[in-house]
Amino acid sequence: MRPSACWKRTVRAYQRSLELTENRYKAGVAARVDVVQAEVQLKSTQASLIDLGVERAHSAACTARSAAAMSGRARGSEACANPDLRPLSAIRRQHGTIRRRRRAVAARRAELRALDAEIDQARLRAFSCTSACTTSTRARRPPCSGSR
């Protein structure tokens, strides 16, 4: 199996995983963090697939140029006749897409970190309340009075 076919299968699998996670979130079974993680995983893999395409195009261009130079032909029509090669403008557009997706992935990761921090704070508050309740019952005070 070609590497690009493997990456494409992986992207399709992550898309399906995201759909399932979103459905679980809508049903109340999964947390929002799980949805964000699935989105980050999908976007990161999509960016890697684009990177792979750019690398292959660059490699093919270098090979064509090297072959043309070795055979004494100028960089021209025969050296660039490879149908896998794309014009430079297409490669630049693809780089722009990669940058946008990477920014989206970075934003999702930041959102994920923020959600993790909220979860940690909620756990800390719950733990603090639990320990305050335990100590307050020993001291005969009302449990968790205003400690939240």
Neighbours of 147 (CB within 10 A): 12
d(CA 128, CA 22): 32
pLDDT at 87 over 90: no
Continuous segment of H or E residues that includes residue 128: helix 88-138
d(CA 144, CA 134): 9
Give the residue with greater pLDDT, 91 vs 138: 91
Q: Which amino acid is at 136?
A: S
Query: Using alpha carbons only, how large is the chain's radius of gyration in Å?
Result: 26
Instruction: Report residue 140: phi and psi, to 5°.
Output: 60, 40
Instruction: Report residue 31: phi and psi, to 5°.
Output: -90, 160
pLDDT at 148 over 50: no
Return the percentage of the chain with pLDDT > 90, whole number.
12
Whole-prediction pTM value?
0.45
